[in-house]
Amino acid sequence: MSAMYFVAAGAVLALLFAATMFARVKKEPQGTPQMAKISAAVSNGATAYLKRQYKGVAIFFAVVFVILLIMAFLGFLSFFTPFAFLTGGFFSGLSGFIGMRTATMANCRTANAASGSLNKGLRVAFSAGSVMGFTVVGLGLLDLSIWYFFLHFWYTAIDPVASQEILIQNITSNLLTFGMGASSMALFARVGGGIFTKAADVGADLVGKVEAGIPEDDPRNPAVIADNVGDNVGDVAGMGADLYESYVSSIVSTSALAVAAGFGMQGVGVPMLLAALGVLCSIVGTFFVKTKEGASQKNLLTALRTGTYISSVLIAICAWFAVHWLLPAEHATGVFIAVISGLAAGVIIGALTEYYTSDSYSPTKKLSASSETGSATVIISGLSLGMLSTVAPVVIVGISVLLSYFCSGGAEDFNMGLYGVGVSAVGMLSTLGITLATDAYGPIADNAGGIAEMTHMPAQVRQRTDALDSLGNTTAATGKGFAIGSAALTALALIASYIDKVHQIDPDIVLDLSITNPTTLIGLFIGGMLPFLFAALTMDAVGKAAQSIVVEVRRQFKEIKGLMEGKAEPDYASCVDMCTRSAQKLMLAPALIAVIVPIVVGLILGVEGVAGLLAGTTVTGFVLAVMMANSGGAWDNAKKYIESGAHGGKGSDCHKAAVVGDTVGDPFKDTSGPSINILIKLTSMVSIVFAGLVVAVHLL
C-alpha cells in the first residue's frame, strides 16, 4: 500500500514538471503576427479534428460500454470493468490532447526561438515535447492512484479482514481492463491521425509540388495547413495515447504478477517505485539536453541522447537500491537484472534504430546511393533495409525476455519468471518521460520549419529548423521502437494473463497450448496474417483519403481566383475538414478488425485458438512494425540526405527517385507501422475481456 504513495507522488511530480514546462513554453514570444496566425490555424485545425474524432470514438466507447455492462450483468465481468474501460480511454485521449495542444502552441515559438540560436530552438521544442512526455507519465500514474485508492477502499469495506494479497489481486484484476479502453483510444488516435497526416501530406505534395510546381509548405497550397495539423494529430496525439497505455499496463500487470509469484506486497512495490523514480530520473535527464550554435546533426543527436542516457544510468542505479530495499536478498539481484535487461533492450533498440535510419550511418547512405539506378532500386533497397533491421531487435528482445525470466526464478516457478519479464518492461518504460519528450519534439520542429517557410523567415532560420527536424525522423523511429519493443516484451505476460483469466473463469479447463496442437497452430497462422491485413487496410485508407485531398486542392486552384498570384487566400479549413472526415470513415474497418477477429476466433476455435492468435499477431506484428518504421524512416532521411547535396541534390533524378521512396514510406512509418503494436495489445485486451463469453460458448 505504501508504494502507492510513491506512485501518487510521482504523478504529482510529473504533472507539476509538465505544467512548469508548459508555462515556460507559453512565455516564449510567438514571433510575428503572421506566424501567430498560422500557428493558430494549425491549432484550430488540430482541435477541430480531435473534437470530431472524440465524437466518433465516443459512439464506439458507448457501444462497447453497453456491451460490457450487459456482460457484467450476465456475470462474465466485474461491474468496475465497464467504468475502468471508460477512464482508460478518457485519460489516454486526454494525454494525446494535452500533448497536441502544447505542440501546436510551441511551433511558432520554436521557429521564433530558432531565429535567435539553434540551442534556443532546441530548448523550446524539447520543452514542449517534455510537456507531452510528462503528461503521459503523470496522467498514467494519476489514473492508477485514483483507481487504486478507490478500489482499496471498496474492497476493504466489503471484506475488512481480507489479506493484503487478496486485496491487491482484486484490485489489479479490475485495473487490467482499463488497458482495453486506453488501447481502443490509442488505436483510433494512431490510425485516424495516421490517415489524416499522410493523406494531407501526400495530397499537398502531389498537387502542390508536382502539378502546380510550388515549393513545399507554400502558403498558397490549400492542403499545407492540413499537412501541419496532421503532424500534430498523428505523431503527437496518437503516440501519446499509445504509450500511455503501454506504460500503465506494464505497471499494473507486473503488480498483478507479484502476488502470483509469491513476492507479496513488496513485489507489488517494485514496479510502482521504479515508475515513480523513473519520473525523477527523467526530469534530471531533461536538463542535459542542450547544444551549441553550429552543431552538426550528430551533435544534436548526441544532445538528445545524452539526456536519455543519463536518465537510464540514474534509474539503473536507483533500481539497484529500490530492489534490494524491497525484496529479499536471494531474489533482489535477479529482479535487478530483469530491470536492467529491459532498460538496456530499450536503449540498444533505440541505438539500432538510429543506425538503420539516420543518414550518419551506412545503411541510409547506401539507400540514397541506390537512387542512382532509379526509384525501383530505392524501393527494393529500402524494403530490404527494413527487413534486415528486424534481426537485431528480435534477438535483443529474445535475450531480454530469457534473461529476465530465468534470472528472477522462472525455472522454478513460471509466475516468478513472468514477474521478471513484467519488471523488465517496466524498466524499459521507466524513463518514458524523457523518451517521449525526444519523440514528440520531432513534429514540433517539423511544424516550426513549415512556419518559417510560410512566413519567409531568413534562410538561416529554416536551416536551423531543418537541422532540428531531420533528427525528428530518427527520434520518431526510436519512439516507435520503444512502443513495439515493449509490446513484444510483454507478449508473454499478455498471453499468460489471458490464460490466467480463463482459469479464473473455469478452473477445471484443460488447455493444450502446444504448437503441435492443430487448433493453436491455426490460431498462430491467423494471428500471423492479422498484421498484414491490418497494414493493407490502413495503407489503402491513406491512398483513398489522399485521393479526396487531391481533388479538393485541384478544385481550389481552379476556382479561387488570384490564389496562385498570392492575392487570395486558399480555403485551408475545407482541406482539414476533408481529411478529418476521410480519416474518421476509413479508420473504422482496421479498428473493428482488432476487436472482432479475436472474438470470432474465440467463438470458433476456442481458447487454444485465441492463445495461438495472440502469439502469432505479436510475432508477425513485431517484425512487420519494426520493418515498416525503419524502412519509412530510412527513406525519409535518404531523401533529406540527397536534399542536403548528395547524389545531385534537390531536383536531380536521384532526388526524384528518393521522393518515391519517401512517399511509400509515409504510410509505412506514420500510419500502418506504429499502429501495429496497438493492434497487438488491443487483440489481447479484447481476448481477456471476452474470455468469459468464449469459455461459456465452448462449454455449451
Sole window of 122-130, 168-176, 495-503, 691-699 interacting with a second copy (rule: CB under 8 A): 495-503
Using rule CB under 8 A, residue 133 touches a second copy: no
Q: How far is CA 52 from CA 132, 182, 188, 560, in A?
A: 21, 18, 12, 27
Smallest distance from a second copy to CB 445, Å: 25
For the bound state, the minimum distance from the C-beta of residue 60 to a second copy, rounded and expressed in Å, comes to: 23
507 to 546: interface string for a second copy, x by CB under 8 A: -----xxxxx-xxxxx-xxxxxx--xx-xxx-xx-xx---
How many CB atoms are closer than 10 A to CB 321? 13
Q: Quick one: which of 579, 605, 571, 564 has its CA closest to 697?
A: 605
Is 367 among the residues that bind a second copy (CB under 8 A)? Answer: no
Q: Does 388 bind a second copy (CB under 8 A)?
A: yes
Query: Is the dihedral angle over the CA atoms 211, 214, 217, 220 positive or is it negative?
Result: negative
Question: Which of 97, 356, 405, 690 forms a contact with a second copy (CB under 8 A)?
Answer: 405
Q: Is 361 in the site for a second copy (CB under 8 A)?
A: no
Q: How far apart are CA 301 and CA 609, in angstroms?
A: 45
**Burial, 231: exposed, middle or buried (Cβ in 10 Å; 0-12, 13-18, 19+)?**
buried
Distance CA 416, CA 424 (A): 12
Site for a second copy contains 592 (CB under 8 A) = no
39 vs 103: CA distance, rounded Å: 10
Rounded Cα distance between 102 and 82, Å, is: 31
Query: Is residue 550 near a second copy by the rule CB under 8 A?
Result: yes
Shortest distance (Å) from residue 275 CB to a second copy: 24
Nearer to a second copy (CB atom), residue 278 or residue 616: 616
- Which one among 44, 547, 548, 652 touches a second copy, defined by CB under 8 A? 547
Choices 52-60, 214-222, 328-336, 385-393 (CB under 8 A): range interacting with a second copy: 385-393
Answer for which of 71, 72, 351, 402 binds a second copy (CB under 8 A) is 402
611-670 positions binding a second copy, by CB under 8 A: 611-612, 615-616, 619-620, 622-623, 627, 659-660, 663-664, 667
Q: Which of residues 32-61 bind a second copy (CB under 8 A)?
A: none
370 touches a second copy by CB under 8 A: yes
Minimum CB distance to a second copy smaller for 438 or for 497: 497
User: By CB under 8 A, which span of 41-49, 349-357, 384-392, 423-431 interacts with a second copy?
Assistant: 384-392
**Between residue 170 and residue 209, which ones bind a second copy under the rule CB under 8 A?**
206
Site for a second copy in 302-331 (CB under 8 A): none
CA 416 to CA 331: how far, in whole Å? 10
- Contact present, 119 and 293 (Cβ < 8 Å): yes
Residue count (the chain): 700
Residues 88 and 512: their CA atoms lie apart, in Å, by 33
Does residue 371 touch a second copy according to CB under 8 A? no
- C-beta closer to a second copy: residue 81 or 630: 630
CA distance 281 to 374: 47
CB 39 within 8 A of CB 444: no
Among 499, 638, 686, 693, which residue sits at the site for a second copy (rule: CB under 8 A)?
A: 499
Taking CB under 8 A as the rule, which mask of x and - marks residues 60-99 in contact with a second copy? ----------------------------------------
- Listed ranges 71-79, 155-163, 217-225, 414-422: which one lies at the site for a second copy (CB under 8 A): 414-422
469-492 burial, b at 16+ Cβ within 10 Å, e below that, comes to bbbbbbbbbbbbbbbbbbbbbbbb
For position 414 contacting a second copy by CB under 8 A, the verdict is: yes
Under the criterion CB under 8 A, does residue 488 sit at the interface with a second copy? yes
The 3-state secondary structure of 263-332 reads CHHHHHHHHHHHHHHHHHHHHHHHCCCCCCCCCCHHHHHHHHHHHHHHHHHHHHHHHHHHHHHHCCHHHH
- Asked whether position 384 contacts a second copy by CB under 8 A, the answer is yes
C-alpha cell belonging to residue 449: 520549419
- 589 in contact with a second copy (CB under 8 A): no
Q: Which of residues 255-274 bind a second copy (CB under 8 A)?
A: none
